[in-house]
Amino acid sequence: MSSIGTGSGVWRLLGWVLTLALQPVPDAEADGPRKHVKPTLAIPDFLLAPEMYKLGLINLMKAFLGIFNMDRCSFKVLVGGGILLLGLVFWWPGLRGKDNRATALGTGQPTRAEKVGPISKLCLPPARRLARQKARKRRILLTGDSMGDGLFVALRKIRQANNAEISYAPWYGSTSTKWAAETRLQTSIAEYQPDLVIFTLGANELFTPVSPRRVGQVKSLITQFGTAEYIWVGPPNWKPDWGTDSLFQAHVGSAHYFVSKNLILDRRRDGAHPTAAASEEWARIIVDWINQNPNLDFKFYHQVDQVEANLQHNLQGTCF
């Protein structure tokens, strides 16, 4: 009977399963090399010898053959099923907890996924990661009368070079009387939250006489700026005014009022609005004044003509 299992692979299979089931379990440590813990079952060493399993299996086979009248093939099937069951009991929980062993053992050490972090951060290309770290764009609100049309076109050319967004909210045909009668300026500032307000006003009231009522309206209008940083761009006179420019300058103050009436600008057919080229020159002068104004925190990094020169330089030798 002892010859039944001597040449069989049952012993090797049983030893392999028991070796996996009873092998030491690695213990995660915060620092240093990993240590091993012994199996939780207190099994004497002599019972772990292959001879003991072989002898026990032979005696078990004799008992089954005598009691249940089994043949050798049926007994081997029974033993194989028991080996598989033993492997599932001891081995399978270890496989399931293999990747998260540190957490399962209660050490509090992070798993690999926790160390790496969200995959979205890893997959972003360097350019996009740098874009996320970049500061928000500065906001410029250009509002007032129609004189802002040419300035808006000119300032848009330098918005990217100056890391700025320019919003244009004109009120065509408006005067200081109209603006003072409403809260449109205050509402626009609250809506756009600009870092700088450029307010163009006065062209539609050059020939309106100065009166105490207008003085009160100008004072009321100035209060709508609140705490926003702003400049009031005076009208580019094409004819001498009746005191409007002096009225604005006296109450707005030289720190925030830009005088445009002395500029020599080419005009459109209407004789009032500056041409596109003249508007760019006007915008360049305004930007220079802002950069040299110690009362304003907002500064431009690049000028209008600088951007144009850089653009022409970059286009040299380029075929379209």
Q: Tens digits of per-residue pLDDT, 69-86?
A: 666 666 666 767 777 776
Residues 189 and 304 in one domain: yes
Residues 71 and 169 in one domain: no
pLDDT score at 101: 40
pLDDT score at 88: 64
Residues 215 and 256 in one domain: yes
Buried b (16+ CB within 10 A) or exposed e, 174-207: bbbebbbeeebbbebbeebebbbbbbbbbbbbbe
pLDDT score at 60: 63
How many Å is the Cα radius of gyration of the chain? 43
Residues 191 and 55 in one domain: no
Residues 28 and 160 in one domain: no
Under the banding of pLDDT at 50, 70 and 90, the label for residue 160 is: confident
The answer to the question of residue 319 being in a domain is no
The answer to the question of residue 303 being in a domain is yes
Q: State which residues form the domain around 296.
A: 134-314
In angstroms, rounded to a whole number, what is the distance separating the alpha carbons of residues 267 and 177?
A: 26
Per DSSP, 266 falls in state: -
More confident residue, 254 or 7: 254
Residues 179 and 275 in one domain: yes
Residues 141 and 285 in one domain: yes
On whether the CB atoms of residues 166 and 222 are closer than 8 A, the answer is no
For residue 16, which amino acid is it?
Answer: W
Q: Which residues pair with 168 in a beta bridge?
A: 142
The answer to the question of residue 292 being in a domain is yes
The answer to the question of residue 119 being in a domain is no
Residues 154 and 74 in one domain: no
Residues 19 and 148 in one domain: no
CATH number, domain with residue 212: 3.40.50.1110
Residues 105 and 141 in one domain: no
Asked which of 62, 94, 110 is the last residue of a domain, the reply is 110
More confident residue, 5 or 319: 5
Residues 64 and 210 in one domain: no
- Compute CA distances 93 → 53, 100, 163, 288, whole Å: 24, 12, 57, 74
Under the banding of pLDDT at 50, 70 and 90, the label for residue 14 is: low
Which pair of structure tokens corresponds to residue 42? Answer: 């207190």
Asked which of 110, 126, 150 is the last residue of a domain, the reply is 110
In angstroms, rounded to a whole number, what is the distance separating the alpha carbons of residues 320 and 315?
A: 10
Under the banding of pLDDT at 50, 70 and 90, the label for residue 220 is: very high
The answer to the question of residue 227 being in a domain is yes
309: enclosing H helix or E strand: helix 304-315
The answer to the question of residue 241 being in a domain is yes
The answer to the question of residue 129 being in a domain is no
The answer to the question of residue 123 being in a domain is no
Based on the structure, what is the number of domains in the chain? 2
Residues 256 and 146 in one domain: yes
Angle formed by the axes of helices 50-67 and 10-22, nearest 10°: 120
Q: Is the pLDDT of residue 157 over 60?
A: yes
